[in-house]
Amino acid sequence: MRGYNTTAQFIQALEKAGELVRITAEVDAELEVSEIACRVMRHYGPALLFENVRGSKIPLLINAYGSNRRMCMALGVDSLDDIAERITSLIEIKPPTSFKESLKMLPHVAQVRNFPPRTVKKADCQEIIYRGDQVDLGMFPIIKCWPEDGGKFITLPQVITRNPETGAPNVGMYRLQVIDRNTTFLHAQTHHGTAGHLRMYRERGITKVPCAVAIGGPSVATYAATAPMPPELDEWLLAGFLRDEPVEMVKTLEHDLKVPAESDIVLEGYIDLEDFRTEGPFGDHTGFYTLKDEYPTFHITTITTRKNPVYWTTIVGQPPKEDYFLGKATERIFLSILKKTVPEIVDMNLPIFGVFHNFCFVSIRKEYPHHARKVMYALWGLGQMSLSKYIVVVDSDIDVQNTDTVMFHVGANVDPQRDIQIVRGPIDVLDHASDMSGWGGKMGIDATRKWKSEGFPREWPKELEMTPETIDKVSARWKEYGLPMALKGEPSMARRGVLLESQANSGGGKIGTIESGGAQMGG
């Protein structure tokens, strides 16, 4: 098995690796935990285990995924590219039989189906049971993240619902604002899986939708809740594939939904589609407060826990934060699937300052005139990529993990009147700049070198680069020069780009790996 089966095992491994700090001083769940975590995350610091949160007997774990090293530990790999290579060897795509089908064409990871979840009859997550008047969210150290938040929020949940038509489960990460001891909001945005389920239940006249929320458990489980899985493959299949072992699941006490058997905490109940209320504000990953909006309520009828549960949480806000590493893992893991759909892609970077949906940098092997625009439209037609606000396309020899390099070529290669494509379409509902929620303008920027066949009449200048022989000679003799090794630097960008492309072509390169302990990409 890869990763860790329980929170206790993960904490033990993090501590042994020097990746966790225990905080025994009493802290307040309202703002104080958030401020401490913010300062640590800003410096790409360790996971934090708060053992004495005022008003709760349950310890709080935060920033568990907050570095590339810890993300790899959680998934049981040395590099995220290892997972991408495993997925690459398994991908199959069924040829579309119609234009409509081609738009819906999704990659099919055949052998993922070898790891279906395994159901058990008894589970540690049901060792302690609370029902009726015993149900009280106040027992948990749920935090208030930012001063103007509408209340306390559960921020790392695995929210589980079921498709009423097929019975297939969906697992998503949707924040839950606490209303009272047994009620929260469910912030399922319209583009996501659970929102689709709720629309299907409403169409069938069903207003009480069974729902379970798991917290903690196997180290892959929380990540799986964030992964953009195709509808026909549920997140527990992905978790089993990542673990090399099926995830053990147990039936909830209230309904036939199943949750990871090793979860720390499980909330059971129903989403009330006749009870919408005003949720928020919430200090979001955009760095701004998401405004108040109407969302359905989640009514909790049963709570179950392990004997010694740990409450997992996180905070979001202006990067860097823990969610950056969860999102970066998805970028690297699913890049191989994206390449099967858009094969001209060499590499992609969702830069940290773009908070995932604002910016997408992509390098391509340009094969025909205006190829960059084809890639823009292809990405705007794919799942969560459809919400990308700015897509920048560069040539294959440009390292998109180096944001300065990308912007250099935007400045050098782009004529704004000729190379910018403005469209309108769906955008992230958290985008506050658009006139309408979830709908607005998007920009594609063609920063590739321009060809005469694209109507460019002039000769394109050659970019500066040193000869490979000189680069290798200087690198080999650096110590002889008596200069500090810190000044040795790297080969010229052009040379690095050639190396990057050759690695991509060979299929064996470690492209764009985040360095341990920080969000430094490339190299």
Catalytic residue among 149, 284, 397, 419: 284
- The helix/strand count (H/E) of the chain reads as 14, 25
What's at 123, amino acid-wise?
A
Bond before 281 cis per omega within 30 degrees: yes
- Residue 408, C-beta contacts closer than 8 angstroms, at least 6 positions apart: none
Listed as own residue / partner, the contacts of 481-485 with beta carbons closer than 8 Å and 24 or more positions apart are none
Helix (H/G/I), strand (E/B), else coil: 352: helix
DSSP, res 519: -
Nearest to residue 396, comparing CAs of 503, 294, 303, 482?
503
- Residue 80, C-beta contacts closer than 8 angstroms, at least 6 positions apart: 68, 71, 72, 328, 329, 332, 333, 513, 514
* Vertex 75: Cα angle to 69 and 79 (nearest 5): 50
- The answer to whether 234 is a known catalytic residue is no
Pairing of strands 108-109, 176-180: unpaired
Cα-based torsion angle of the residue sequence 319, 323, 328, 333 in order, rounded to the nearest 10 degrees: -170
What's at 347, amino acid-wise?
D
Q: At residue 143, what are phi and psi to the nearest 5 degrees?
A: -100, 150
Cα distance between residue 95 and residue 107, in whole Å:
10
Gap between the terminal Cα atoms of the chain: 31
Which of the residues are catalytic?
284
